[in-house]
């Protein structure tokens, strides 16, 4: 099964043997290619190049094109504050002092929609056969708050009819943008609405039922799949969200996945989530990420109707090896479970002997991988070392250590190898996670000759 087939099968509520993996690499994609968040948010060529790298390194079954909740708001008159290491942010709210309801619906050629569409079409052509592509739109409530500011919360109580009307307008915008993205080839439209976590189930019923149901109906009628993304503690709103009939919902670490899954299972809705973004993905080690993912998978009653994903948009600076660790843990759960166990078990002593790195006869390249067969990034890392070995022939030595062998785990501990895949030359870390460029790699080895 391709990744795309897996995602679509699960969204069609079929039972399959594996769990799809959906890395939310928004602006983080740029980091893989050395581009800033601003660059991948404004330059189609750089975005496409970065998305290609995400596909290559993270082996996603499904992949978002842009994770940017400001695209619609920008067109509708909100000013943005730009950042180099985060998506832009809305800084002004055009409706803060007026009760007017706008009429303008974004057109396909407005603002950054053409950028998104160009990237969607390019990715559809390159990876669309094997990877399910996600187009993300701003949900009606979050868009309304961009336009109105946080006064919207008070309006819900003091001026409910205004809120209903404003949400009606935002629903039209959401439907228009969903249509553009479906026409650009997106398999799944994700309606992203973090603000939904901040209201009561009663308010959800009063205001959100109809707008969200309408958007999901439109997506269904257009033949695409849908997802309802929320960030924050949305525990109280899981059932109300299911009632708007999305194919799936996605939650962050503030929600207990196992508890929420009991609810989504009742509604026959797929649930996605929720590797902690900050404590684990950004600040944890690769080991933490593998362990966390295995534990998460073990925490749910059953793995049907389940997608594993980060809690929300991944921080720009998320270490690449952490995402690779999660990917491996989703795709090779049993193997990684064993590795984590072996790593945690203190009883394994390293039985071999480390080379005398200061007195080597020739340069020695050591490749540490999770498993160069199943882990894409490891495959590339290993291939680049094999290529270099071929280039230099007998002048250098090269070896791969796979983490699948407990002795290799012990070796990693002794050598203090923290990230996989990585390449060491003469006992020193040279490359980790990001595949070295050939000419640069050759130059580095030449220096050691």
- Residue 392's alpha-carbon distances to 352, 364, 381, in angstroms, are 27, 12, 17
| Residue 364 exposed, middle or buried by CB count within 10 Å (0-12, 13-18, 19+) | middle
Which span sits near ligand B12 by CB under 6 A: 96-104, 194-202, 396-404, 408-416?
194-202
Distance between CA atoms of 347 and 220, rounded to whole angstroms?
54
Distance between CA atoms of 151 and 280, rounded to whole angstroms?
34
Measured in degrees and rounded to the nearest 5, phi and psi for residue 313 equal -60, 130
Q: Which residue has the tokens 């290993």?
A: 382
29 binds ligand B12 (CB under 6 A): no
What residues from 205 to 244 belong to the interface with ligand B12 (CB under 6 A)?
231-232
Alpha carbon distance, N-terminus to C-terminus of the chain = 45
Q: Which is nearer to ligand B12, 35 or 343 (CB)?
A: 35
Q: Which is nearer to other proteins, 233 or 407 (CB)?
A: 233
140 binds ligand B12 (CB under 6 A): no
**Could you say which of 3, 128, 194, 246 contacts ligand B12 (CB under 6 A)?**
194
CA 335 to chain centroid, in Å, comes to 22
Binding site partner of 313, from other proteins, ligand B12, none, Cβ cut-off 5-8 A by kind: ligand B12
Distance between CA atoms of 159 and 238, rounded to whole angstroms?
26
Q: Which is nearer to other proteins, 6 or 93 (CB)?
A: 93
Query: Is the distance from CB of 281 to CB of 318 less than 8 angstroms?
Result: yes
CB of 279 to ligand B12, least distance (A): 9
| Cβ contacts of 416 within 8 Å, gap of 6 or more | none
CB of 212 to other proteins, least distance (A): 17
Tell me the three state secondary structure of residue 123.
helix
Binding site partner of 199, from ligand B12, other proteins, none, Cβ cut-off 5-8 A by kind: other proteins
| Residue 52 exposed, middle or buried by CB count within 10 Å (0-12, 13-18, 19+) | middle
**Could you say which of 21, 35, 67, 134 contacts ligand B12 (CB under 6 A)?**
67
367 binds ligand B12 (CB under 6 A): no
Binding site partner of 437, from ligand B12, other proteins, none, Cβ cut-off 5-8 A by kind: none
CB of 209 to other proteins, least distance (A): 16
Q: Which is nearer to other proteins, 122 or 195 (CB)?
A: 195
- The CA dihedral of 405, 407, 408, 411, to the nearest 10 degrees, is 170
Tell me the number of residues near ligand B12 by CB under 6 A.
24
Helix (H) or strand (E) holding 396: none
**Could you say which of 69, 73, 182, 238 contacts ligand B12 (CB under 6 A)?**
69
277 binds ligand B12 (CB under 6 A): yes
CB of 316 to ligand B12, least distance (A): 9
Q: Is 333 left (phi over 0), alpha (psi -120 to 50) or beta?
A: alpha
Q: Which residue has the tokens 């490891």?
A: 378
Measured in degrees and rounded to the nearest 5, phi and psi for residue 67 equal -120, 80
197 binds ligand B12 (CB under 6 A): yes
Distance between CA atoms of 402 and 378, rounded to whole angstroms?
9
What residues from 300 to 329 belong to the interface with ligand B12 (CB under 6 A)?
311-313, 315
Distance between CA atoms of 395 and 364, rounded to whole angstroms?
10
**Could you say which of 72, 247, 252, 265 contacts ligand B12 (CB under 6 A)?**
252
Q: Which is nearer to ligand B12, 252 or 400 (CB)?
A: 252
Binding site partner of 156, from ligand B12, other proteins, none, Cβ cut-off 5-8 A by kind: other proteins
Q: Which is nearer to ligand B12, 73 or 339 (CB)?
A: 73
Which stretches of the chain bind other proteins, using CB under 8 A? 81, 83, 85-86, 89-91, 150, 153-154, 156-158, 198-200, 203, 233, 235-236, 278, 282-283, 315-317
Residues that bind ligand B12 (CB under 6 A): 26, 67-69, 86-87, 89-90, 142, 150, 194-195, 197-198, 231-232, 252, 254, 277-278, 311-313, 315
């Amino acid at each position: 099964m391709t990744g795309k087939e897996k995602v679509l099968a699960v969204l069609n509520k079929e039972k399959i043997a594996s769990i799809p993996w959906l890395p939310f690499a928004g602006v983080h994609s740029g980091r893989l290619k050395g581009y800033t968040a601003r660059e991948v948010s404004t330059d189609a060529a750089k975005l496409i190049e970065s998305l290609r790298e995400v596909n290559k390194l993270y082996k996603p079954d499904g992949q978002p094109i842009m994770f940017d909740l400001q695209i619609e708001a920008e067109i509708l008159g909100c000013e943005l504050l730009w950042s180099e290491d985060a998506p832009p942010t809305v800084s002004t709210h055009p409706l803060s002092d007026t009760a007017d309801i706008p009429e303008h619906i974004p057109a396909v050629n407005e603002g950054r929609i053409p950028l998104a569409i160009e990237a969607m079409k390019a990715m559809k052509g390159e990876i669309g056969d094997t990877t399910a592509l996600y187009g993300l739109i701003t949900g009606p409530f979050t868009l309304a708050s961009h336009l109105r500011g946080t006064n919207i919360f008070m309006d819900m109580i003091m001026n409910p009819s205004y809120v209903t009307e404003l949400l009606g307008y935002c629903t039209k915008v959401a439907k228009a943008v969903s249509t553009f993205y479906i026409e650009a080839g997106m398999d799944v439209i994700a309606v992203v609405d973090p603000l939904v976590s901040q209201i009561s189930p009663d308010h959800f019923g009063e205001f959100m039922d109809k707008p969200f149901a309408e958007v999901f109906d439109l997506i269904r009628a257009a033949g695409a799949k849908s997802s309802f993304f929320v960030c924050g503690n949305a525990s109280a709103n899981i059932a109300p969200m299911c009632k708007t009939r999305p194919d799936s919902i996605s939650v962050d670490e503030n929600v207990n996945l196992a508890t929420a899954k009991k609810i989504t299972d009742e509604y026959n809705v797929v649930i996605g989530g929720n590797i902690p973004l900050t404590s684990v993905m950004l600040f944890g080690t690769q080991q933490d990420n593998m362990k966390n993912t295995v534990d998460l998978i073990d925490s749910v009653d059953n793995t049907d109707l389940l997608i594993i994903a980060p809690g929300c948009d991944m921080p720009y600076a998320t270490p690449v090896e952490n995402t690779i660790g999660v990917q491996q843990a989703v795709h090779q759960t049993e193997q990684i479970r064993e590795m984590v166990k072996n790593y945690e078990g203190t009883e394994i002593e390293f039985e071999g002997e480390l080379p005398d790195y200061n007195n080597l006869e020739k340069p020695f390249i050591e490749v540490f991988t999770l498993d160069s067969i199943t882990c894409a990034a490891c495959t590339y890392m290993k291939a680049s070392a094999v290529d270099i070995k071929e280039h230099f022939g007998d002048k250098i030595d090269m070896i791969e250590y796979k983490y699948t062998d407990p002795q290799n785990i012990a070796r990693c501990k002794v050598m203090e190898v923290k990230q996989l895949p990585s390449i060491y030359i003469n006992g020193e870390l040279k490359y980790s996670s990001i595949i070295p460029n050939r000419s640069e790699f050759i130059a580095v080895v030449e220096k050691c000759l």
